[in-house]
Amino acid sequence: MNDFETKLKQAMQTENSVPDADAFISDLHSERKNRQSARRQFYNGIVAGMLILSFGLFTVSQLGTNPAELIVYDSFEIMSEEDRIEEEFLREMAVYYLEESDDIWDTYALLNDSELFNEKWENQ
């Protein structure tokens, strides 16, 4: 056993020169500063990310509704408003024709010929 232990110790023997202490200490402090600044950058990145995320969440909550839904809702509103104007226009035109003409069928024929009237019925 003792022989083997001696062999082990001999195998471990190394001839090494100790590094220059001043250079080692200087490298140590520059590495420490590098790591400190890397750590600071990492934490700043996390804080910035959290701020952006919380700002985004706050903005969305202020809108109250999903923006996508708002767009769809608005387009329906515009379409129904157009329909209302068209219907009103047709109604006024019909009344005008009825007043100006003696024959109801002439009024119907005129309305039937109008492009707007046809479009309206085709869509429905």
Partner 1 sequence: MKTDKTDIELIQEFQDGNEESFNALVERHLSNTYGFFVKICQNEMDAEDLAQDVFLKMHRALKKFRFESAFTTYLFRANRNMANSYIRNKWWRGLLNLEDTPEKGEWDTSHETDWRKQELWNAVAKLPKLQRNVVMMRIAQELPFKEISAILNTTESSAKTSYHYAVKTLKIWLENE
**Helix segments in the chain, DSSP class H:** 2-12, 21-63, 67-100, 104-113, 115-123
Which residues are at the interface with partner 1 (CB under 8 A)?
1, 4-5, 8-9, 11-12, 14, 16, 18-19, 21-22, 24-25, 27-28, 31-32, 35
Closer by beta carbon to partner 1, 22 or else 113 = 22
Closer by beta carbon to partner 1, 4 or else 58 = 4
- What are 28's two structure tokens? 């140590």
**Residue 67 and residue 57: Cα distance in Å, rounded?**
13
Output b/e per residue, 26-37; b: 16+ Cβ within 10 A. Answer: eeeeeeeeeeee
CB 111 within 8 A of CB 90: yes
Closer by beta carbon to partner 1, 15 or else 69 = 15
Closer by beta carbon to partner 1, 29 or else 91 = 29
